[in-house]
Structure 1
Amino acid sequence: MLSPRKTALAIALGAATALLFTACGGNMDDSANNSAGSPPVTAADPSHGGAVSLRGIVYGAADTSVQPDAGVPITMMGQMRALFDLIKSAPDFTQVVMDLGDGSPVHVLDTNTGDKFLPGKLALGLSYILIDMKTKGDPKYADYLATYQKITTAMMTQMNGSDYMYANTSWGEYYYLVALNNFSAHGMLHEVFSDAMLTTLQNRLTFCDMFGADASGKTNTCPAAGVPIDVASLNTAQNYYAVSYGIAGLRQKLGWSNPTFSSATDPAVASMGARDALLYTLTNHIRNDSSGGFSDEASNTHTTYYDQARFDRYSTLLIGEVTERTLEMGNEANLTPELKSYLRKSVDLILPQLNADGQGFNYGRSIGPYGDTAFMEVLTAAANAGILSAQEMQVAYSFIYKSAYRFDTFWYDPTLPTPSVNMWVKGRGTDTYRGKPRVMGENFSLLHQYMYVNAWWDKLGFGGKAPMADSDLQAWLDAKPHYTLTWYNVPGDTAHPYSAALITVRDGKRVINLNLSQAPDYNSYTPYYPTPSSDKLVYGTTDLGYALLIPQVSYNGKTYIPVTYYKNLNVQETNGNVVVSFDTAKFRQATKNASYATDLDLQVHTVLTFSKGAMTRTDTLTSGTLAGNMTVETDFTSFADFQNTVANGDGFSVNYANSSATNYSTTGFDSCALSNFEMSGGVVNPLSTTPIGQLHSNFACKTQAFSLTGSTNRTLSWTLKYADLN
């Protein structure tokens, strides 16, 4: 017997056939509109009609197949069509399974995937295929349209009272509205959706679930008509002002009304429409929460200066999303010089990190393929906002091409039982937030990012154009400074007295990042440690912590780490070496959301030296009050295979083969041990799965118990040597 929820869904599936829709079709350009930027500056791609181009990877040939010499297994449109076919072939779409080959297939369209954006992601992703089929007069269009109507109706129709079978909050609402606007631009909106369904969507696709007391997203929490929403009542992270801004603007573009806002502290909000009130509030967030012009992603729930300052991928990406939403909804008039200046700050943080492999952020949370697309989205927004030089336009387009190529040849895995983007298996791991039950939605959202970016570059005149020659791109990258210091909080800012900054060091083709931010809620996790991050050399493990290249202290039965309270940051270049020094005023307990009352009165002066093919860290520990004994451990985990990793006879160094790392050595410790890091108790060690792949070995160095009294100190150091990147 079906459960009540399954019974309700079956009723909705039957009812969906009654919602067949009629209207005229169209063939309008679905590229983003009203863009600004430089004229095309790349040469036409001479190879097989544009195969070696961004469009060649995203769209491909006229039938969306892979063109000769494109070098990818499938186009992104091909991936989207394969997902549509997977859903269409299932007798019951809620039972669609994706198998990543790890022995636990996932029912990816079940109601309990945990992906509260799924209906919107699906509606948007599959819309690309419908629009393409309609434009080409594909004879199978009607069949695919019927499938689309059946699924979207079932997912979005009210089932039991005010309850819905599927949640569709925030991002899901935004994605759905993008799909509706794309259909509208092609004259297909009333062909795909009945008037009754559009009324349902108009009532449901609001930003109300992000404001007020109800954060479930399963009921419409908008107040009665004429009652404004308190703009300060956002019940999620402040970056979601950008999502609600996108929703309000896209509703307005469809001619739908929006709820209004009020503010107890700023009466100006009440005189604005919802779209502009949200942009106004979002601008204040960026302006007020970081003197460096970046978005502090902890500022909404943390109120003291030592309890804020999480700067990561989203701190840089947010202004890119705001710019893209502004252009997408036709609100260019409100893209102020102030907002453009924030966008330029993000560009200036990204440009020193660019590389010829299409890799993006390598620190912080929610990276992996999203680390790559963050660079791509910011650079695309900057191109459209007209703040890139002609040469930067070429570089940005070429990097984005490389990013698309990397997605298709690294992140997308056609060898899985169900071909898919892979963030979960074969040694890879991602945040709990993007857990494997969300695999279908992650495919949709990532593919959408590349598709909309490709549409923008087509609009800018780059459609089918070849990227810069690899030699020219590398020459531009080689001309970048040896190091770049980007402050999140400007020195001297009394509201943010602790140092928050990113140091990027370039060593040949290798990019090394040292990110210093307080990161409340996340500072116990390795991606937020004050340690270098670099592709295939040093990488954090999501949602987990261990002594990765920092002095991890054990004291009175608890573990402490130096992951906030940074002061006196100084960066200098001497004789070709980049020397970074800073002090850490206290050690934090190494547990998530540890109370600041448990901080340990232990200080460390840290010096990191980056030289050709090597990096060295020296930590000098002192304390004026700790009387008991402590021990310190520092680990280095390597991507090198364990079988060819050799501990040297000195007991304090190790050699690596077949990897970027070649040697790791330490001083000041009493013992070190090499171990297999990949397996623990016969299963994969969760600490070993990074976003980009498996760590295989660990070299753990420890001290014996010692005390710090009076003016005594303890100095520990490590040196990591590595090979040049090819």
Structure 2
Amino acid sequence: MRRIEVAFVMLGLCALCAAAGCASAGRAAAPPPAERTMQGIIDDRVVPHLEHYFERIAAERGALAIDGVPAFSESDHFVGGKVISSMAYVLERTPRGTPEFARRVEMMRGIVDFVSRQPGYATWNHLYAIKGLHRLERAGLLDDVAPDSILNRLRTQLDWRGFVDPTDLHLINLPTNYYGVAFGIARYRELLGWDRPGDSERILAKLLTHVREYSAEGYMDETPGDGRFDRYTVLIPSELAILLTATETPVPPMIRDMLRRSSEIALQLANPRGDGFPYGRSIGLYGDLATVQVLSIAARLGVLTPEESAAAYAYNTRMVQKYADFWIDPAMRSVNMWDHGRRTDEYRNKGRILGENLSTAMQIVEAEEDWEAAGFTGAPSAAALDRFLAGLPRYRLFRFSTGEYERALLIARNGGRVIALPLISGARGYYASTPYLPAPAAVGSLETPPNTQLPHLVPRWTLADGGARMPVVYMRAIRTEERGDTLYLRVSQDALARVGDAAPRADSSMSVNTTFVFAPGSMERRDVFRAARPVTARALEMEFVTASSGGTARGGRVEFAAGPVASIEAWGAGEPVVEALSGPQALGGPNGPLRSHVRWNRANPTLGGSAEVRWRMTWR
């Protein structure tokens, strides 16, 4: 049993603001005291959170509701496995030979029996559950909580053969990342003695073939070559490395190399606030935890240098503190990704509330175990983090793909802000989604609402026939130039995307050359559109949503009274209209409410030879 450190103040200022829904609820937690250890935060905040749910699950089972939402429902097909995995950890750390341990063993037996009788669980649920059973066996507790009648039931249920054909190993109506799930289940079955070795090696070989085929420049495309390089791109090498390490399987050099590349992105995003990955879907809390997972396993495997490891440990510790002070809502007794102005994508809807509490807490626990294995158990060094941040380049471009279309990510460190500019394709279903647009993204200051398709800082042409076109997807010739402390990034597109269908289609009758300009305190975008022949359009539109408030339009310029963005000005898009967001019109970002919505609409524009649209933003 690890030492429980002296408890500290339970509620940080940002947690109180989040519960009350006040103006600062959208901002990240203030940097915590550097002397707090990661294990100390887990002991004082995360473990009590899990123990609370241990008691409630054991007592209420199927009747359990959190903030009025049923915990066990058809909305979450993975919750049962997450229950077994997380509650196994709580039992494992309970002191043996105590009345509390005996009580919890009996409770755990009831929990496992309850979960094993629930219908409808699949895939990830099976992996979470079998991982928890392996933790129990490793701790010598499996026989205590799972008698033969229960274990035989689980042995039948927890199998990869329900979604992978065992003959030729083709996935049954699932995306290719489920090979990782299948590998984990197969390998844990072998470790538990349920199957003979062999199947996990076959599945792993199949998975690595796919990774190799769709990992341009050493980064994983979530799609079969369409260019969706997002949070999952950065996360998948760490997920695989964590799973391989946990199942006593060597980590192949290719995965180590990919993990190194992901680590460089995570380190370039590092900041003293503990903010994480800022664009695409499933960010917010999961954007923070992605960098925790990447850097912790990278340190354990020796992928980071000693200097990087020391800085990453301090950065990750602040993310764990942010989880305790910001993401856990004390009024709800739950993580909060859905209320008080926060919003997440439909995949992580509030119907999954119990599962999200358990899986996020366990990601932190497992990351700390990796940090401990890497030799980091004491207080993090704030000085090491400060030195590392001071030495990072102001601008860094990561090239994901140099094939038919180029994909890249620029990370700019601008006056204490960390800004990501994704130049990617969201591919089918996401190419016109606001969080995937080629627009700047920054936690707490440049966030966008999930599940929307706004022309956020990207012009949208609506043609005479009602069809819309946007400069997304078809990017070529990405190049950068630094002049002093200013960066110029240029990209060309010889076609615009037809917007409206599920998948993008190219319209080569229009093209665009785009220049982004990053300077201290400001950012600018210039688009020069060209048409092979005159184009008549109904409208040219652009929008901007921001956490800044008190916007006032003066000519083409909008100035904000408060918030991170001080002003924005556009040319060639019409006059701005500013709307304060509140009540039914409110929009939420992953980390908090968006306060203002700016719209530009230029009616009946004509695109003959060329047309320029430009905007410039300044920071407060």
1:97 paired with 2:35, answer no
Cα 1:52–1:28 change in 2 (3 A) is: closer
Return the alpha-carbon distance in structure 2 between the equivalents of residues 382 and 198 of structure 1. Answer: 34
If you compute each CA radius of gyration, which structure gives the higher value, 1 or 2?
A: 1
Identify the residue that residue 375 of structure 2 maps to in structure 1: 461
- The structural deviation recorded for 1:539 is 1.3
1:693 equivalent in structure 2: 592
What is the match of residue 248 of structure 2? 330
Q: What letter corresponds to residue 144 of structure 1 in structure 2? A: R
Counterpart of 1:403 in structure 2 is 319
Q: What SS does the aligned partner of 2:144 have?
A: helix
SS at match of 2:120: coil
| Corresponding residue to 2:405 among 486, 498, 512 | 498
Letter in 2 for 1:550: V
Cα RMSD over matched residues?
2.0
Query: Taking structure 1 as reference, are residues 132 and 51 closer, same or farther at Cα in structure 2, changes over 3 Å only?
Result: farther
Q: Take 2:163 and 2:288, find their aligned partners in 1: how far apart are those partners?
A: 28
Q: Contact between 2:218 and 2:400, CA under 8 Å: does it hold in 1?
A: yes
Q: In the alignment, is residue 437 of structure 1 matched against residue 346 of structure 2?
A: no
Superposed, 1:567-716 pairs within 5 Å as 567-591=476-500, 593-594=502-503, 596=505, 599=507, 601-625=509-533, 627-641=535-549, 644-648=550-554, 650=555, 652-679=556-583, 683-685=584-586, 688-709=587-608, 712-716=609-613
- SS of aligned partner of 1:580: strand
8 Å CA contact retained: 1:119, 1:166: no
Name the TM-score, length of structure 1 as normaliser: 0.78
Matched, 1:131 2:92: yes
CA 1:677 to 1:552, structure 2 compared with 1: closer, same or farther past 3 Å? farther
1:79 aligns with 2:40: no
Partner of 2:199: 274
Inter-partner Cα distance in structure 1 for 2:538 and 2:215: 36
CA distance in 1: counterparts of 2:410 and 2:591, whole angstroms:
22
Post-superposition CA distance 1:172-228 (Å, at most 9, x none):
11111111111111111101101121111112111123324xxxxxxxxxxxxxxx4
- Call closer, same or farther: CA 1:207–1:684 in 2, change over 3 Å: farther
CA distance in 1, matches of 2:2, 2:162: 33
Offset, 1:352: 1.1
Instruction: Tell me the amino acid that sits aligned with residue 676 of structure 1.
Output: A
TM-score, normalised by the number of residues in structure 2: 0.91
Secondary structure of the equivalent of 2:290? helix
Q: Is the contact between residue 80 and residue 115 of structure 2 (CA under 8 Å) also seen in structure 1?
A: yes
Q: Is the 8 A contact 1:588 1:594 kept in 2?
A: no
Secondary structure at 2:99's aligned position in 1? Answer: coil
Paired letter, 1:396? A
* 8 Å contact kept, 2:171–2:179: no
Say whether residues 1:563 and 2:472 are aligned partners.
yes
Match of 2:37 among 53, 56, 65: 53
Bigger Cα displacement from structure 2, 372-381 vs 203-212: 203-212
The percentage of aligned residue pairs carrying the same residue is 28
Cα distance in 1 for partners of 2:50, 2:508 equals: 52
Deviates more, 1:335-344 or 1:119-128: 335-344
> Is the CA contact (8 Å cut-off) linking 1:601 and 1:626 kept in structure 2?
no
Counterpart mapping for 1:246-325 below 5 A: 246-257=184-195, 273-299=198-224, 308-325=226-243
SS at match of 1:386: coil
Q: CA deviation at 1:427?
A: 0.7
**Secondary structure of 2:541's aligned partner:** strand
Q: Is the 8 A contact 2:559 2:568 kept in 1?
A: yes
| Equivalent in 287, 305, 317 of residue 371 of structure 1 | 287
* Alignment counterpart, residue 241 of structure 1, candidates 179, 182, 190: 179
Q: In structure 2, what residue type is equivalent to 1:647?
A: A
Superposed displacement of residue 586, structure 1: 2.4
Is the CA contact 2:58–2:110 (under 8 Å) kept in the aligned structure 1?
A: no
The total of aligned residue pairs comes to: 588
3-state DSSP of counterpart to 2:355: helix
Match of 1:340? 256
CA distance in 1, matches of 2:585, 2:558: 23
Alpha-carbon distance in structure 1 between the residues aligned to 2:501 and 2:97: 55
User: Residue 220 of structure 2 aligns to which amino acid in structure 1?
Assistant: S
Contact persistence 1:560–1:590 (CA under 8 A): yes
Partner of 2:153: 200
Q: CA deviation at 1:472?
A: 3.8
Q: Which residue of 1 aligns with 2:271?
A: 355
Secondary structure, aligned partner of 1:400: helix
CA contact (8 A) 1:153 1:197 kept: yes
Task: Give, as a single letter, the amino acid of the residue that structure 1 aligns with 2:578.
Answer: L
Q: Deviations over 1:289-322 (max 9, x none)?
A: 13211111111xxxxx6xx111101111111111
Contact 1:296 1:315 in 2 (8 A): yes
Q: Which whole-Å deviations, capped at 9, do the CAs of 1:491-531 have from their partners, x for residues lacking one?
A: 3xxxx310111111111321111111122121121110001
Q: CA shift at 1:234, angstroms? A: 4.7
Q: 1:283 to 1:588 in 2, by over 3 A?
A: same
- The whole-number CA distance in structure 2 between the counterparts of 1:694 and 1:655 is 19
1:162 counterpart residue number: none
Distance between the aligned counterparts of 2:264 and 2:204, measured in 1? 23
Seen in structure 2, the aligned counterparts of structure 1 residues 508 and 473 have a Cα distance that, compared at 3 Å, is farther
Listed as ranges, the gaps of 5+ residues in structure 1 are 1-26, 30-49, 60-65, 67-74, 100-104, 158-164, 213-227, 259-271, 300-304
SS of the residue corresponding to residue 405 of structure 1 reads helix
| 2-structure distance, mates of 1:592, 1:365 | 19
Determine the structure 1 residue equivalent to 2:132: 179
Q: Distance in 2 between matches of 1:361 and 1:290?
A: 20
Match of 1:524 in 2: 432
Change (3 A) 1:55 1:355: same
Residues 23-59 of structure 1: CA distance to partner in whole angstroms, max 9, x if unpaired?
A: xxxx899xxxxxxxxxxxxxxxxxxxx9710001112
Please say if residues 627 and 708 of structure 1, whose CA atoms lie closer than 8 Å, have aligned partners that are also in contact.
Answer: yes
Q: Which residue of 2 aligns with 1:512?
A: 419
For residue 610 of structure 1, what is the amino acid of its counterpart? F
C-alpha distance in 2, partners of 1:151/1:619? 58
1:719 corresponds to which of 607, 610, 616? 616
Out of 382, 385, 397, the residue aligned to residue 485 of structure 1 is 397
- Residues 1:142 and 2:102 aligned together: yes
Structure with the bigger percentage of strand: 2
Q: Give the superposition deviation at 1:141.
A: 3.2
What amino acid is aligned across from residue 693 of structure 1 in structure 2? G
* Conserved? CA contact 1:298–1:519, under 8 Å: no
2:71 to 83, 108, 122: 108
Q: Secondary structure at the match of 2:600?
A: strand
Q: Is the 8 A contact 2:431 2:504 kept in 1?
A: no
Instruction: Could you tell me which runs of 5 or more consecutive residues in structure 2 were left unpaired when the two chains were aligned.
Output: 4-33
State how far apart, in whole Å, the 1-side matches of 2:161 and 2:481 are.
49
Question: In structure 1, what residue type is equivalent to 2:391?
Answer: A
CA offset at residue 534 of structure 1? 1.1
SS in 2 for 1:669: coil
CA contact 1:665–1:719 (8 Å) conserved in 2 = yes
Task: Give 1:232 deviation, angstroms.
Answer: 2.9
Report how far residue 611 of structure 1 moved.
0.1
Partner of 1:129, secondary structure, is: helix
CA contact (8 A) 2:187 2:200 kept: yes
Deviation at 1:337, TM superposition (A): 2.1
Q: Does 2:357 align with 1:450?
A: no
CA positional deviation for 1:439: 0.5
- Name the CA distance, whole Å, in 1 between partners of 2:452 and 2:499: 10
C-alpha separation between the residues in 2 aligned to 1:381 and 1:366? 21
For 1:185 and 1:51, the matched residues in 2 are separated by 32
Equivalent AA in structure 2 for residue 375 of structure 1: T
> Quick check: 1:638–1:698 contact (8 Å CA) kept in 2?
yes
Query: How far, CA to CA, are the matches of 1:168 and 1:384 in structure 2?
Result: 32
Q: In the TM superposition, what whole-angstrom CA distance separates every residue of 1:433-476 from its partner, at most 9, and x where no partner exists?
A: 1110101000000000001111222233322x11112x441231
**Aligned partners of 1:207 and 1:626: how far apart in 2?**
57
